[in-house]
Amino acid sequence: MKKNIVLFVLFVLPIVAYLFFASGVNSFTKLPTITPKIADFGNWKSLKGEKVTLNNKITILGFSGSEILKNRGNFFNLNEKIYQRYNGFKDLQFVVVCPLGTEKDAEKIVESLGAFTDVSGWHFIFASADEIKAYYDQLHLKGKLDSNLGTSNVYIVDKERNLRGRKDKDEYKEGYNTFHPSELSNEMLDDFKIILYEYRAALKKNHNATKEL
């Protein structure tokens, strides 16, 4: 009897545990879509005068508001917890929508980040107040911009311009609060890994796996 118990513990339990965890991974290989096919940016220019697009990029999208410097800690949290881990991926970009007139403040943020980070994946783009309001409204989010046209939340947008997050009866998360490093390290990092897993799986399925993802 004891021999059978030992054999069960040594051989059967590991197999059961593997099947349990494997089924758990499979259930989290798709991150729900919060808003499908959001609009691409208009002819808004970056600090370098370049046009930035959401197409064919995994995008971390943010809205700075006019008080960029006051909220600069949020950018440093995001940079440390997410950006520095993944800024080597060619298909990833961090885009912050800013009100016109805040260009110099945004430059200071980029300069500060650039002191210890390759900032080539950061893009600050600029639009009028009305354009920012209209763009944010079409995201159809529960959260709202503050009176300065900003939010501490950032959002995950996939290559097909779908805004992704958690969406079920027990948990709903459309954005990730950059004010709280723990939220970035836990919920956002977990969800971001799911997005990467989706694309890696698709690439492998099509036999086109590359170092970009």
Q: What is the pLDDT of residue 211?
A: 46
Task: Please tell me the distance from the alpha carbon of residue 195 to that of residue 113, in angstroms, as a whole number.
Answer: 25
Task: Please tell me the distance from the alpha carbon of residue 60 to that of residue 186, in angstroms, as a whole number.
Answer: 16
CATH of the domain at 66: 3.40.30.10
HEC assignment per residue over 55-77 = CCCEEEEEEECCCCCCCHHHHHH
In-domain check, residue 21: no
Our count of domains for the chain comes to 1
In-domain check, residue 18: no
Query: Has this prediction a pTM greater than 0.95?
Result: no
In-domain check, residue 210: no
In-domain check, residue 20: no
Task: Please tell me the distance from the alpha carbon of residue 200 to that of residue 159, in angstroms, as a whole number.
Answer: 13
Q: What are phi and psi of 152, to 5 degrees?
A: -80, -5
In-domain check, residue 96: yes
Q: Which domain holds residue 65?
A: 33-205
- Per-residue pLDDT 10s for the chain (213 aa) are 555 554 444 555 455 444 444 434 334 468 999 999 999 998 999 999 999 999 999 999 999 999 999 999 999 999 999 999 999 888 999 999 999 999 999 999 999 999 999 999 999 999 999 999 999 999 999 999 999 999 999 999 999 999 999 987 778 999 999 999 999 999 999 999 999 998 888 777 666 544 455
In-domain check, residue 152: yes
In-domain check, residue 4: no
In-domain check, residue 2: no
